[in-house]
């Protein structure tokens, strides 16, 4: 699933958002540059241009004239330079993803964007069309998908190791916001503010992660759903907890739970796929293992890097036993996206199609899921088609 | 919750069903007689009278003349004896619970019955009325509720250790019937046959267990629910998997999953209660521990028998560390039911009310839950009031 | 390993020690009588004869004239009665085991005794000789050995599932006595008093349990050992922590750790056996599971009651998933000891030899182990032959 | 413990060994360059100069004239360049560490070296002297020590959260070499060959890791030890399994187990420190958590990144819940070593002393431990002073 070879030359790469104090900005830079597949040469890191420029020059060693005031300036100037950036990463609040992505694509840049991708599914669909028209790669950063264990789980389902899928359970539950922690913290406040965050909080922020992972591993397509959402912290305008029941197109069923009020948890992000002949479980907190039970046998823990895994899962960076972490998963994804960008540049469409990475379709599915959940939840949790 | 003193004299006790080869019959006998609170003196153990009598005499050492052909004969004869049985346990298929219970109560016997209690909630309500009228104790064997850890969890919720309850997750999932195992096994076949089992399989067989446990610990009252049920093994007339979303009366929400096709699991019977200030988790497979996280702290495992538990949970039979099991839980329940029967006989209504055991109200709630789930599931999983 | 049939007639049985407030007395009575294999008819329950008699009559329903002042009186009187006891259980402090056992055997009674068996290995050897001479069964209550998982582990080693054994790790560590808890508690004080407890505390009290279990599962015979023992609570005359390294006769090696100062643990009683082709792990706190890894595969948890187990482990009392506990393990052992007693009475030596239960040889090995550990520890932890 | 600020300018850095196909070479490059604290500008990557140069130029983008034939050439040439390397990492077999380290130090370079450091403790001591004389930093790559959980554990012990330490348990056990896997694999064969590996295999390869970690967390100093070592795979000249018992200077005791034949394990690298008032456990496979039990309380899992941790452990790269891995730990260590090198260059001795990293003393302790273990093991496991 993930390639093990690196690009011959790093792609020239810029970043929008992700400046001083941003964790997400740091992990994007780390992952992209980890194996010399991308080289950061430009940025518009901050809504405050001065602060953004200082960050780029002092912390990252960029040339001052490639630290821009805002994304518009950056995309315009860089797109005219001979050595201008070939790809851009967007690590800004949700409300800005659509406009920035659109402009970057139309100026010939490959895009890597944070999720949830846009406020509406229609916007995401439009971005897909633009990307196709311009033959640009559009990566959406579902960053947990780059682990070898995920590749193993996918391969097992694909090969029929667990038979026909019957049940998919997805959850991403933490307890960080069990109280009104956003009260004096603007960095948190935007997440529960519709203007910046869109129509949902936990459904978009974490629910889309487990939804995408469940889809990735199981391959199931949703048919209809029913959603309950609640703001347990009453001052919140957006939900901090949601439960969803799902009917899939082939007769399978599923559930999804996302919560920011699950006291005691740090990342109870889990996916369980139950088939006729076996069950697979994955848990984000210990991503180097998956649990697998074939019919009539007990659960066992499979470990990354071991000889009993399928070949598709053998792209570890360090031997089994030594734990890999989220940075390694992200770097794997950027590597594949880099290869995809080169393929697109060469118009090697067949090769492009063969390179897996979380992309615009994952982005669209996530936004559509949010829309339908909100529709259901706000109408007495009635069932809605997806 | 559970008393630690035994009765001065064992109650004279009879058993209906539970003969040769029955595990449930064995555990009832073991639990009732464990501490000399009950003494088995009569039985109608089998649909085959000869086999039932042989079992009673040879395996259990009963007098031949107190091994009866059927429950009717037993109740009639015993109720006329001066030394006749004071209490009877019903361990027969679901379809017979109503009639046997009714006759026993009307002949002045205390009753302990298996669950699900009856086919319809109306029948269960009627049994409640009869029991009240005759001042008889009616225990329903939710046998997992006698562990000290359950008492601890209840006490914690009651004292406010986890604050106001927000979310209740309940599940009881095993994988024993992931294939059509009942094909050549009549002992299993009745469970998926509506005539013997009633309108549901897993909802009644195991769903009621986790429902009752969730209610017991959290104290939440259901308001409405939506249920999906499936027969993944297609030959089955009754569901082998069901998912339920629940709205509680005070604004809390919940989910329930019961399944017989959860490959790899033996007893994934778990309850999780999330409150404003803490979370509690209980898992049937390791019943000597519960997990507890207070707000802002990690999960910890509390162990039965330890000094840091609430007094209400200090009724262990053996010191901490040494594992207790299901037989011990059942024996605890029979002990309390014995005390309740004595209290009823003495018309000590206040004392009777103070003795906890799983009873007729648990039985009614279970049957009503099944009814509503079936109603919802068979109508496109629409929401129904409970 | 454990039979599933019960005796036709209960054996007449008496108990010495184990009176009011004794947990060990309770579990002996429960286990022996669980399946009507033994019937308690006599006892000398207490050093205080009045209290002992009151306990026997009021709590246990015994005849007053069979509640004796002391063990001597009981053995003498009962041995002359036609309906006198056939077997006796000794649940008194270590210092008395030798004398009581000897007298009981010499009066024709079968004996079940607590461990550690005696103060010296020579005494234990002598008891073995007496038992042989009188053709009496001598059970030593290593009560953890009656679980089906233990039978499974033994069978796996015996069949070669893990190949030749290389390493055996044994430990029994709890934290109950990390402080001087015995200061005001005579019930604890005797354990750290040489006069009552013998030459060791934790080595005898819990070390012998994990030693016996390691031997039982692995079959290894000790060749030599080195022991460090410490009294971390300085007021103690006997060790509260000990570590042992062991060389086995066939080239395997092992370690044993027993501790009463392992803060945070309740029962870290674990055995791990590593062979050329596989590894097995057992943990007392969750006795319904064992972990097993064949070469080149990950660990898996095997569950009691499942179809993939060896036949030798199929003697469960209740189906898989439902947890069994320590009481069930003990009852299994008493059942086998009952069968052995009948075989001995019938002089059916071949059958007797075929019935497994923890016996005098386990008792001897435990005492010898303590002796050698003390010898080593008190001589600078030098290596000593076993 | 770990600083969160990066160097203003990357240090010019070279690497010896770690060429094509080397995992250890990759992780060194990744960790050093992760935050722009080091910049790779030179290398002697391979015993085959051509292959080494090709690797440096093609895979790493180095100038051809800074890819050297061997370490001698590299150190000589680079030490004369004005822009020559300031630091060098040695990732070659054990037998070469001493000579390379010595030459690098004497040419004014800071050194980061793999472990075990040298064949004899005397050699390591000599390297320490040379480093001191030349005021050079000498890092030894105990790469597991850079996790925030380790900092938390150290801080807890230092603050007295667990009271006076009584017991330290250390183990590093895997099952990769349970069979003679080295037979046709030269990459493995050198590890069990005395000429290349030195006097031990697992004691040096993994035993030193858990020894160093146990020392780091507990602060205990060894007094004497007894060691059993075995070659369970009989063709091996060096041990593949070793058990050690340890007496510490203050009365505490400990054990260490290292094994390459522990079937089923991937990295059972664990440290447990038991004190008068609490117990701490760390496990390499899940390095984002530690277990902690205060006296009278159950174990709980502390998670990296959470508010309840000590400040000293708050140097995470990404928020709690998201797992960090071994690469992140290494990068943390290289960052601190970079700061130390700058401090040494500025002769800021006080600052230098305040910067923690695994260094020459850890290296010496490891080699001395191996020497004493071998001495003990080869003399009937007798006790030897450390």
Question: What DSSP element (H or E) covers A291?
Answer: strand A289-294
> Taking Cα atoms as reference points, which of C329, C355, C360, C333 lies closest to residue C344?
C355
Contact yes or no for A42/A104 (Cβ under 8 A): no
C226: chain D residues, CB-CB within 8 Å: 226, 245, 381
Residue pointed to by tokens 């058990």: D243
Q: Quick one: tokens of B24?
A: 């449930």
Q: What is the pLDDT of residue D196?
A: 86
- ipTM for the predicted complex comes to 0.96
Q: Are residues B78 and B207 in the same domain?
A: no
Residue numbers in A near B293 (CB within 8 A): 175, 263-265
Mean pLDDT of A188-199: 89
C132 and C274 share one domain: no
Q: Which of D245, D294, D299 sits opposite C243 (nearest CB)?
A: D245
Task: Count CB-CB contacts under 10 A for residue A296.
Answer: 16
Is A296's Cβ below 8 Å from some Cβ in C?
Answer: yes
User: Do residues B378 and B338 share a domain?
Assistant: no
pLDDT digits 0-9 by tens, C287-317: 999 999 999 999 999 999 999 999 999 999 9
- At a CB cut-off of 8 Å and minimum separation 6, what does C116 contact? C94, C198, C204, C205, C208, C363, C366, C367, C370
**Range with the poorest average pLDDT among B145-149, C217-221, D92-96:** D92-96
CB-based contacts of C235, cutoff 8 Å, min separation 6 = C180, C183
Instruction: Determine contact: C288 vs chain B, CB below 8 A.
Output: yes
d(CA C264, CA D277): 9
The position carrying tokens 């960090």 is: D324
Interface with chain A: mutation pick from B156, B163, B175, B274, highest number of A CBs within 10 Å: B274
How close does chain A come to B269, measured CA to CA in Å?
A: 16
Indicate if the pLDDT at residue D155 is higher than 90.
yes
Question: Do D296 and B303 count as a contact with CB atoms less than 8 A apart?
Answer: no
In a domain, D156, yes or no: yes
Residues of A in contact with B276 (CB under 8 A): 178, 232, 263
Tens of pLDDT along B92-139?
A: 999 999 999 999 999 999 999 999 999 999 999 999 999 999 999 999
pLDDT band at A358 (very low <50, low <70, confident <90, very high): very high
Reference B213, options B254, B164, B261, B262; nearest CA is B254
A116: nearest Cα among A179, A207, A6? A207
Which residues on C lie below 8 Å from B326 (Cβ)? 318, 322-325
CB distance from B26 to chain C under 8 Å? yes
Dihedral of the alpha carbons of B90, B96, B100, B105, in degrees to the nearest 10? 80
**Is residue B360 assigned to a domain?**
no
Do residue C172 and residue C262 come from a single domain?
yes
In this structure, what are the phi and psi dihedrals at residue B254, rounded to the nearest 5 degrees?
A: -155, 165
Phi-psi region of B28 (alpha: psi -120 to 50; beta: other; left: phi over 0): alpha
What are the structure tokens assigned to C188, written together?
């604890």
Whether C248 and C168 have beta carbons less than 8 Å apart is answered as yes
pTM value is: 0.97
Question: Are both A157 and A302 inside the same structural domain?
Answer: yes
E-assigned strand segments in chain B: 11-17, 38-44, 87-91, 110-113, 138-140, 165-173, 222-230, 241-248, 253-259, 268-275, 278-283, 289-294, 300-303, 384-385
Find tokens 């259980």 and name the residue.
Answer: C89
Does one domain contain both A49 and A62?
Answer: yes
pLDDT score for B191: 86
* C-beta atoms of C300 and A296 within 8 A: no
CA A338/CA C260 separation, integer angstroms: 58
Nearest to B292 by CA among A163, A263, A33: A263
Query: Is C184 in the same domain as C267?
Result: yes
Are A328 and D324 in contact (CB < 8 Å)?
no
Q: Tell me whether residue D53 is in a domain.
A: yes
- D30, part of any domain: yes
- What is the per-residue pLDDT across C131-177, written as a single tens digit (0 to 9) for each? 999 999 999 999 999 999 999 999 999 999 999 999 999 999 999 99
Q: Give residue D153's pLDDT band: very low, low, confident or very high (50, 70, 90).
A: very high
Residue B326 is assigned to a structural domain of this protein:
no
Residues of C in contact with D298 (CB under 8 A): 264
pLDDT in tens, A153-187: 999 999 999 999 999 999 999 999 999 999 988 87
The pLDDT, as a whole number, for residue D172 is 98
What pLDDT does residue C21 have? Answer: 87
**A130 domain residue, yes or no:** yes
Q: Does residue D109 have a cis peptide bond before it, meaning omega lies within 30 degrees of 0?
A: no
Task: Kindly report the average pLDDT of chain C as a whole number.
Answer: 96
The CA–CA distances, whole Å, from C1 to A198, B283, C189, C335, C349 equal 65, 30, 37, 11, 17
Q: Do residues A123 and A172 share a domain?
A: no
Percent of chain B with pLDDT over 90: 96
Q: Which residues of C187-202 are buried (b: 16+ CB within 10 A; e: fewer)?
A: ebeebbbeeebbbbbb
Domain CATH code at residue A59:
3.40.50.720
Give the C-alpha separation, C174 to C266, whole Å: 5
D303 touches chain B (CB under 8 A): yes
Q: Band of the pLDDT at C186, cuts 50, 70, 90? A: confident
Shared domain for C234 and C289, answered yes or no, is yes
Residue A19 makes CB contacts below 8 A (sequence gap 6+) with: A25, A43, A45, A46, A51, A52, A55, A56
Query: Residue C206 CB: number of other CB atoms within 10 A?
Result: 20
What confidence category does residue D357 fall into, taking pLDDT thresholds of 50, 70 and 90?
very high
According to DSSP, the β-strands at A253-259 and A241-248 are antiparallel
Does residue A196 carry a pLDDT above 90?
A: no
Which of 336-375 (C) contact B at CB < 8 A? none
Position C336 in a domain: yes
Residue C360 lies in a domain: no
Is the CB of B320 inside 8 Å of chain D's CB atoms?
A: no
Q: What's the pLDDT band for B187 if we cut at 50, 70, 90?
A: confident
B28 reaches C (C-beta below 8 A):
no
Q: What residues have CB less than 8 Å from A81, skipping those under 6 apart?
A: none
DSSP A65-80: GGB-SSHHHHHHHHHH
pLDDT over threshold 90, residue C197: no
The CATH code of the domain that includes C282 is 3.30.360.10
In angstroms, the separation between the Cα of residue D289 and the nearest Cα of chain B is: 10
Asked whether the beta carbons of residue D243 and residue C232 sit closer than 8 angstroms, the reply is: no
Tally of domains within chain C = 2
Mean pLDDT of B329-354: 98
Mutate to test the interface with D, among C248, C261, C263, C265 (most CBs of D within 10 A): C263
Are residue C47 and residue C26 in the same domain, yes or no? yes
Identify whether residues D346 and D273 lie together within a single domain: no
pLDDT band for position A31 (50/70/90)? very high
Question: Is D197's pLDDT higher than 90?
Answer: no
CB neighbourhood size of C26 (10 A): 18
Residue B178 has pLDDT above 90, yes or no: yes
Q: How far does Cα B333 stand from its chain's mean position?
A: 10
Residue B219 dihedral angles phi and psi, to the nearest 5° = 75, 5
DSSP for residue B7: P
Identify the pLDDT of residue B107.
Answer: 98
| Same domain as C347, residue C290 | no
Q: Does A295 touch chain D (CB under 8 A)?
A: no
Q: In this model, does residue A21 exceed pLDDT 90?
A: no
Pairing outcome for strands D241-248 and D253-259: antiparallel
Q: How far apart are CA C331 and CA C35, in angstroms?
A: 8
B289 CA to chain D: closest CA distance, Å?
A: 10
Q: Tell me which residues of chain D, numbers 139 to 168, contact chain C at a CB-CB cutoff of 8 Å.
A: 162, 166-167
What's the domain range around C270? 148-320+366-385
**pLDDT for the residue C243:** 98
Most D CBs within 10 A among C264, C296, C300, hence the mutation to make, goes to C264
Kindly state the tokens that stand for D302: 């502390």
Q: Residue A250's pLDDT band (boundaries 50, 70, 90)?
A: very high
For residue A232, list chain B residues with Cβ-Cβ distance below 8 A. Answer: 166, 276
**Three-state secondary structure along chain D?**
CCCCCCCCCCEEEEEEECCCCCHHHHHHHHHHHCCCCEEEEEEECCCCHHHHHHHHHHHCCCCHHHECCCHHHHHHHHHHCCCCCCEEEEECCHHHHHHHHHHHHHCCCEEEECCCCCCCHHHHHHHHHHHHHCCCCEEECCHHHHCHHHHHHHHHHHHCCCCCEEEEEEEEECCCCCCCHHHHCHHHHHHHCHHHHCCCCHHHHHHHHHHHHHHHHHCCCEEEEEEEEECCCCCCCCCCEEEEEEEECCCCEEEEEEECCCCCCCCEEEEEEEECCEEEEEECCCCCEEEEEECCCCCEEEECCCCCCCHHHCCCCCCCCCCCCHHHHHHHHHHHHHHHHHHHHCCCHHHHHHCCCCEHHHHHHHHHHHHHHHHHHCCCCCCEEC
* B187 touching D (Cβ < 8 Å): no
> With an 8 Å Cβ cutoff, are D305 and A266 in contact?
yes
Q: Which segment of A216-220, B366-370, C58-62 scores lowest on mean pLDDT? A: C58-62
A2 beta partners: none
List of E strands, B122-267 = 138-140, 165-173, 222-230, 241-248, 253-259
Residue with tokens 């055991």: B357
Per-residue model confidence (pLDDT) at position A318: 94
């Amino acid at each position: 699933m993930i390639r093990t070879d690196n690009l011959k030359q790093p792609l020239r790469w810029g970043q929008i958002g992700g400046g001083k104090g941003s964790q997400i900005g740091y992990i994007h830079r780390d992952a992209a540059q980890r194996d010399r597949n991308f080289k950061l040469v430009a940025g518009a890191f901050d809504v405050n241009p001065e602060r953004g420029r200082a960050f780029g020059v002092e912390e990252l060693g960029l040339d001052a004239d490639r630290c821009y005031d805002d994304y518009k300036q950056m995309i315009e100037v860089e797109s005219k330079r001979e050595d201008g950036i070939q790809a851009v990463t967007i690590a800004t609040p949700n409300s800005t993803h659509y406009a920035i992505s659109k402009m970057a694509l139309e100026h010939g840049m490959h895009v890597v964007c944070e999720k949830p991708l846009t406020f509406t599914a229609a916007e995401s669909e439009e971005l897909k069309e633009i990307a196709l028209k311009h033959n640009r790669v559009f990566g959406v950063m579902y960053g947990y998908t780059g682990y070898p264990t995920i590749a193993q789980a996918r391969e097992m389902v694909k090969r029929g190791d667990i038979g026909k899928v019957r049940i998919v359970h997805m959850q991403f539950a933490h307890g960080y916001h069990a109280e009104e922690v956003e009260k004096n913290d603007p960095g948190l406040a935007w997440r529960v503010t519709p203007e910046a965050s869109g129509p949902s909080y936990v459904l978009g922020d974490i629910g889309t992660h487990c939804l995408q992972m469940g889809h990735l591993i199981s391959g199931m397509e949703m048919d209809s759903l029913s959603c309950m959402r609640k703001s347990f912290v009453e001052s919140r305008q957006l939900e901090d907890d949601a439960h969803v029941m799902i009917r899939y197109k082939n007769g399978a069923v599923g559930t999804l739970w996302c919560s920011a009020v699950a006291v005691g948890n740090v990342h109870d992000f889990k996916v369980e796929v139950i088939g006729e002949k076996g069950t697979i479980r994955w848990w984000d907190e210990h991503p180097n293992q998956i649990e697998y039970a074939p019919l009539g046998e007990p659960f066992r823990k499979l470990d990354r890097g071991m000889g009993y895994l399928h070949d598709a899962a053998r792209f570890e960076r360090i031997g089994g036993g030594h734990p890999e972490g989220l940075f390694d998963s992200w770097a794997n994804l950027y590597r594949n996206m880099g290869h995809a960008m080169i393929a697109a540049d060469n118009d090697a469409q067949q090769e492009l199609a063969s390179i897996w990475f979380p992309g615009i379709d994952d982005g669209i599915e996530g936004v559509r899921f949010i829309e339908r959940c909100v529709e259901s939840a706000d109408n007495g949790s009635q069932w809605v088609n997806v």
